[in-house]
Amino acid sequence: MKKKIKKYKENIILDNLKIITAIKILNKVKLKTLIVIDKNNKLIGTLTDGDIRRALLKGHSVNNSIFSIVNKKPIKKKIGKELIKFKGAKIIPLVDNNNKVINIEVKEKKK
């Protein structure tokens, strides 16, 4: 189930990016969820195209920061704790006790 963070590093973005930049990144990545971190690698939340669509419908500009539209209560897994289920998420940040992202877990498609 675990994949190396290297493989999905393009899904990790900083919290100070503009919405338009996040849209461009989402358009390029395979997994359509972005993991948002601060400059210290601490998890801020996740961002999906649905989050962006809802923000635009509420009047946000594509030039606004993503910080205000990020899901700040994402599904995450802490080291040493079991994740009960993915609950629809395809990509989940694995964090240490300081909430720093250390890896990413990806739900594999069943064949």
Q: DSSP per residue over the chain, as a string?
A: -EE-TTTTGGGEEETT-BHHHHHHHHHH-SSSEEEEE-TTSBEEEEEEHHHHHHHHHTT--TTSBGGGGSBSS---EETTS-----TT-SEEEEE-TT-BEEEEEEPPPP-
Average pLDDT, the chain: 88
**pTM for this predicted structure:** 0.86
pLDDT on residue 91: 86
pLDDT value at residue 2: 47
Whose CA is closest to 52, among 67, 74, 31? 67
